[in-house]
Amino acid sequence: MAQEKDRQHLQDLAHKWLKGTITPSEQQEFDHWFSQLEDDPIYIPSNLANSSKAMRRAILIRVYKEAGIRQKSLINSKMGKFAAVAAMLLLIGGFAFYFFGKQKHSTIKRTVVQANKILPGGNKAVLVLADGQAIHLDSSKNTIVINNESVRYDDGSLVGKAKWKDHLNKMDLNPRSCSTIFTPKGGQYHIILPDSSAVWLNASSKLTYSNYFSVDNRELILEGEAYFEVKHGKKPFIVKTNAQEVYVLSTDFNISAYEDEEETRTTLVHGKVKVHPKNKPIEESDLLLPDQQAVLSHGNLITKSINVKQEISWKSGIFDFTGMGLPQVLHNLKRWYDLKITYQGSIPQMRFWGHISMQNNLDQVLKILESAQVKFRMGPDRQLMIINDGKGG
């Protein structure tokens, strides 16, 4: 009986979603249910490839099948109500991508200028030493190993042509001296710390470490996003951001603390971490368990369970847009492809579900927008304008 009640509730949500009458809380519930389908993808037979109508119908049938709704009722009595709803499947680089949203039926003219020349990001970072030396890290490599006397690539070769003697002298004069690693937009780098802990630094991020970082002094300062695999130690491993401090002993976790975002997200993969907002007493820290995320916004800390795989997909070179609205999708693309995003008119309301490789050129990724019938213009200086002129999309 309870199962039947759940099915009926899900069916009601699906109807509201299709008609556009779903509330924000109901939308969140429906999104959570739909995200559970990602490990069991919708199968579209190859003979449907030439029929977008059949593709939409097949995907909708799958959604309703999961909700326990009979296909017969969908085909016979519901299809008329679904005319304004599209569900499209796009294959890019071997990845299945699903889009759901209200669409018009008019033809769109799209202008894409030089998007095929905009390459994806890669191994790009700058190391600034205590004496001010700036070293551009080798883009043909992806890992540096830091010790107290030098920094080397993981093949043992010395990083850059730094004057390491000057660097060591600066350290001797200032025991509090620090070095910093910057990644630009479209850059990532892998870092092995002196205690053998590992950091994956995402695009447009900054990691500052003490030149006396050791098993007895394990503090870092982060701006941006990084994934950490922390080796066990007697002293806590501490990551400080502008708004919080995270204390760990041995664990894997991700922190997203970009200055252009209102919230700081700490996501735990394994182990335990304690998240302490800087504006609160230490007693008001939150202890995270695996598959939980602490979201700090305007001084308020909220802990929730999430899809960890999606949050850390960037570490594996994948964009996971499951359940994301258009602004979130564009925000990810902006940081990786070094774009400037502007809007003409209101922001189109739609959601995306799917995965795509971060190694695609921009023109390949923009096919996602084309499939969703989003009007856009790619201009000079990496400017991507999203256009909503009310004339159809």
Alpha helices in 144-187 (DSSP H): 164-173
Burial of 60 from C-beta contacts in 10 A (0-12 / 13-18 / 19+): buried
Q: Is the pLDDT of residue 221 over 70?
A: yes
Query: For a pLDDT cut of 70, what percent of the chain falls above it?
Result: 68
Q: What is the pLDDT confidence band of residue 75, given thresholds at 50, 70 and 90?
A: very low
Region 95-110: what's the mean pLDDT? 45
> In the chain, what is the straight-line distance between the N-terminal and C-terminal CA atoms, in Å?
43
Region 308-316: what's the mean pLDDT? 95
Q: What is the pLDDT of residues 327-351, one digit of tens each?
A: 999 999 999 999 999 999 998 888 8
Q: What is the pLDDT of residues 43-66, one digit of tens each?
A: 333 333 344 444 445 545 555 554
For 204, which DSSP code?
Answer: S
pTM of the entire predicted model:
0.74
User: What was the pLDDT predicted at 18?
Assistant: 52
Secondary element (H or E) of residue 223: strand 219-229
- Domains of the chain, residue spans: 2-83, 122-311
Q: What is the pLDDT of residues 113-141, one digit of tens each?
A: 456 668 889 999 999 988 788 999 999 99
User: What was the pLDDT predicted at 314?
Assistant: 97
User: What was the pLDDT predicted at 30?
Assistant: 66
Q: Is the pLDDT of residue 189 over 70?
A: yes
Alpha carbon dihedral 306, 311, 313, 314, in 10-degree steps, equals 180
Structure tokens at 181: 């690693």
Which comes out higher in pLDDT, residue 252 or 22? 252
User: What was the pLDDT predicted at 50?
Assistant: 40
Structure tokens at 84: 């304004």
Bridge partners of 87, per DSSP, are: 100
Region 18-23: what's the mean pLDDT? 64
CATH of 122-311, one of 3.30.565.10, 2.60.120.1440, 3.40.225.10, 3.30.70.100: 2.60.120.1440
Q: Is the pLDDT of residue 89 over 70?
A: no
